[in-house]
Amino acid sequence: MSYETLRLFRNILLRSFAVGIVIVLISELITVSGWTIWTGLVGSLLHAKEADLISIVLWFFTIAKLFLLFVVLTPALALHWTLKKEKFGIKLFN
Protein backbone atom coordinates (compact mmCIF):
# COMPACT_ATOMS: atom_id res chain seq x y z
CA MET A 1 0.00 0.00 0.00
CA SER A 2 1.21 3.44 -0.77
CA TYR A 3 1.70 6.20 1.74
CA GLU A 4 -1.21 8.21 0.32
CA THR A 5 -3.60 5.26 0.52
CA LEU A 6 -2.76 4.64 4.17
CA ARG A 7 -3.08 8.33 4.91
CA LEU A 8 -6.52 8.45 3.28
CA PHE A 9 -7.67 5.37 5.21
CA ARG A 10 -6.42 6.89 8.48
CA ASN A 11 -8.23 10.16 7.80
CA ILE A 12 -11.47 8.33 7.02
CA LEU A 13 -11.24 6.37 10.28
CA LEU A 14 -10.48 9.46 12.38
CA ARG A 15 -13.35 11.41 10.84
CA SER A 16 -15.69 8.45 11.25
CA PHE A 17 -14.78 8.33 14.93
CA ALA A 18 -15.47 12.05 15.36
CA VAL A 19 -18.82 11.85 13.57
CA GLY A 20 -19.77 8.70 15.50
CA ILE A 21 -19.02 10.32 18.85
CA VAL A 22 -21.13 13.35 17.93
CA ILE A 23 -24.03 11.13 16.87
CA VAL A 24 -23.83 9.04 20.06
CA LEU A 25 -23.71 12.15 22.26
CA ILE A 26 -26.70 13.70 20.47
CA SER A 27 -28.59 10.41 20.83
CA GLU A 28 -27.81 10.33 24.54
CA LEU A 29 -28.98 13.92 24.95
CA ILE A 30 -32.25 13.21 23.13
CA THR A 31 -32.76 10.02 25.15
CA VAL A 32 -32.18 11.73 28.49
CA SER A 33 -34.30 14.76 27.64
CA GLY A 34 -37.28 12.70 26.46
CA TRP A 35 -36.95 9.82 28.92
CA THR A 36 -40.17 10.48 30.85
CA ILE A 37 -42.26 10.76 27.68
CA TRP A 38 -40.76 7.86 25.77
CA THR A 39 -40.61 5.45 28.71
CA GLY A 40 -44.36 5.39 29.08
CA LEU A 41 -44.99 5.14 25.36
CA VAL A 42 -42.46 2.37 24.70
CA GLY A 43 -43.43 0.56 27.88
CA SER A 44 -47.09 0.44 26.85
CA LEU A 45 -46.34 -0.55 23.24
CA LEU A 46 -43.82 -3.28 24.07
CA HIS A 47 -45.26 -4.28 27.46
CA ALA A 48 -41.87 -3.74 29.05
CA LYS A 49 -40.95 -2.43 32.46
CA GLU A 50 -38.84 0.69 32.94
CA ALA A 51 -35.99 -1.39 34.41
CA ASP A 52 -35.84 -3.44 31.19
CA LEU A 53 -35.78 -0.30 29.07
CA ILE A 54 -32.98 1.18 31.15
CA SER A 55 -30.82 -1.89 30.70
CA ILE A 56 -31.46 -1.97 26.93
CA VAL A 57 -30.58 1.70 26.52
CA LEU A 58 -27.46 1.39 28.66
CA TRP A 59 -26.27 -1.65 26.68
CA PHE A 60 -26.86 0.17 23.40
CA PHE A 61 -24.79 3.20 24.36
CA THR A 62 -22.07 1.06 25.94
CA ILE A 63 -21.72 -1.12 22.82
CA ALA A 64 -21.79 1.95 20.55
CA LYS A 65 -18.96 3.62 22.47
CA LEU A 66 -16.89 0.42 22.65
CA PHE A 67 -17.33 -0.10 18.91
CA LEU A 68 -16.17 3.43 18.18
CA LEU A 69 -13.22 3.08 20.51
CA PHE A 70 -11.89 -0.35 19.56
CA VAL A 71 -13.03 -0.82 15.96
CA VAL A 72 -12.65 2.73 14.64
CA LEU A 73 -10.21 4.69 16.82
CA THR A 74 -7.64 1.98 17.55
CA PRO A 75 -6.76 1.24 13.89
CA ALA A 76 -6.79 4.97 13.14
CA LEU A 77 -4.24 5.67 15.87
CA ALA A 78 -2.12 2.72 14.76
CA LEU A 79 -2.09 4.04 11.21
CA HIS A 80 -1.35 7.54 12.47
CA TRP A 81 1.72 6.41 14.40
CA THR A 82 2.86 4.22 11.51
CA LEU A 83 2.60 7.09 9.06
CA LYS A 84 4.36 9.42 11.49
CA LYS A 85 7.33 7.02 11.67
CA GLU A 86 7.29 6.74 7.87
CA LYS A 87 7.28 10.52 7.47
CA PHE A 88 10.29 11.05 9.73
CA GLY A 89 12.49 8.69 7.74
CA ILE A 90 12.09 5.37 9.47
CA LYS A 91 11.11 3.10 6.61
CA LEU A 92 8.52 0.56 7.74
CA PHE A 93 7.29 -0.66 4.36
CA ASN A 94 9.36 -1.93 1.45
Query: Residue 55, Cα to own-chain centre: how many angstroms?
Result: 19
pLDDT in tens, 9-38: 999 999 999 999 999 999 999 999 999 888
Q: What confidence category does residue 93 fall into, taking pLDDT thresholds of 50, 70 and 90?
A: low
Query: How does 53-87 read in b/e, with b if 16+ C-beta sit within 10 Å?
Result: beeebeeeeeebeeebeeebbeebeebbeebeeee
Q: What is the DSSP letter of 66?
A: H
* Share of residues in the chain with pLDDT > 90 (%): 60
Query: Pick the residue with more confidence: 17 or 89?
Result: 17
Q: Whole-structure pTM over 0.75, yes or no?
A: yes
